[in-house]
């Protein structure tokens, strides 16, 4: 998986002897536009999300197997077994499939890589939820904890004055503090931050994906609940 670009943008180090054309790529047009496939490393840890085309490339090159849920147990199927399963149990009409000359092939939901055992770390996506989580739902001016619905996101340097939406310029603020500060810098409003806002540390892919709610039902057991 040389140059593999995972969904979080993390790029694992090249694996010696790996095929360069196995790289994951956002640009690679998926065969099916909507279906996404979760990829686990060989330790069953989620490491990325790929499109259908990439998923089948991994299967055909025997770099991955399908995790198939059968009778409450996981079966690992190689590409031949997966094709056989698709032929024996045709997918439902509403199910997304890969059209082939002979028969429609089921699109797997989760793959497990055979040789890759790293756990890439990912940036946490900048969002309201991310800011609240970093600040532990605590107003960064008065230090009081509130329910999420009671909190606002404040630009330390106001947008009107060139302040950007970054981890370093966004903080959690209660409504009272946000109103009091208004479009001023903290010191102009006689306010102080309780701590300097920073970009949160990178987290394993599964945690980042879970925080962003990028779930599909079949992935649930492989991603921690947000």
Compute the distance between CA of residue 37 and CA of residue 94 in angstroms, rounded to an integer: 18
Smallest distance from the beta carbon of 48 to Zn ion, in angstroms? 39
Smallest distance from the beta carbon of 165 to Zn ion, in angstroms? 20
Q: Which residues bind Zn ion (CB under 5 A)?
A: 139, 141-142, 174, 177
State whether the Cα torsion 117-123-129-133 is positive or negative.
positive
Compute the distance between CA of residue 153 and CA of residue 172 in angstroms, rounded to an integer: 5
Compute the distance between CA of residue 73 and CA of residue 67 in angstroms, rounded to an integer: 10
Compute the distance between CA of residue 48 and CA of residue 24 in angstroms, rounded to an integer: 9
Smallest distance from the beta carbon of 131 to Zn ion, in angstroms? 14
Cβ pair 46, 222 in contact under 8 A = yes
Smallest distance from the beta carbon of 166 to Zn ion, in angstroms? 21
**28 vs 137 by CB, closer to Zn ion:** 137
**132 vs 203 by CB, closer to Zn ion:** 132
**50 vs 174 by CB, closer to Zn ion:** 174
**41 vs 178 by CB, closer to Zn ion:** 178
Smallest distance from the beta carbon of 127 to Zn ion, in angstroms? 21
**186 vs 200 by CB, closer to Zn ion:** 186
Residues 6+ apart with CB under 8 A from 52: 30, 31, 32, 35, 37, 98, 107
**Using the 8-state DSSP alphabet, how is residue 149 labeled?**
G
């Amino acid at each position: 998986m040389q140059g593999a670009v995972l969904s979080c943008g993390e790029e694992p180090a090249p694996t010696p002897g790996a095929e360069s054309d196995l790289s994951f790529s956002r640009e690679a047009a998926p065969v099916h536009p909507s279906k996404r496939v979760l990829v686990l490393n060989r330790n069953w840890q989620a490491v990325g999300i790929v499109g259908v085309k990439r998923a089948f490339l991994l299967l055909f090159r025997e770099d991955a197997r399908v995790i198939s849920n059968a009778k409450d147990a996981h079966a690992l199927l190689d590409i031949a077994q997966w094709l056989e399963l698709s032929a024996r149990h045709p997918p439902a009409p509403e199910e997304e499939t890969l059209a082939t000359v002979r028969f429609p092939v089921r699109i797997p939901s989760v793959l497990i890589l055979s040789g890759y055992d790293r756990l890439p770390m990912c940036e946490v996506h900048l969002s309201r939820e991310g800011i609240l989580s970093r600040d532990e739902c605590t107003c960064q001016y008065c230090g009081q904890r509130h329910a999420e619905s009671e909190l606002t996101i404040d630009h330390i340097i106001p947008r009107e004055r060139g302040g950007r939406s970054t981890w370093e310029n966004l903080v959690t603020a209660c409504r009272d503090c946000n109103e009091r500060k208004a479009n001023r810098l903290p010191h102009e409003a006689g306010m102080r931050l309780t701590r300097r806002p920073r970009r949160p540390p990178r987290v394993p892919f599964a945690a980042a994906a879970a925080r962003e709610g990028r779930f599909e039902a079949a992935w649930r057991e492989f991603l921690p609940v947000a």
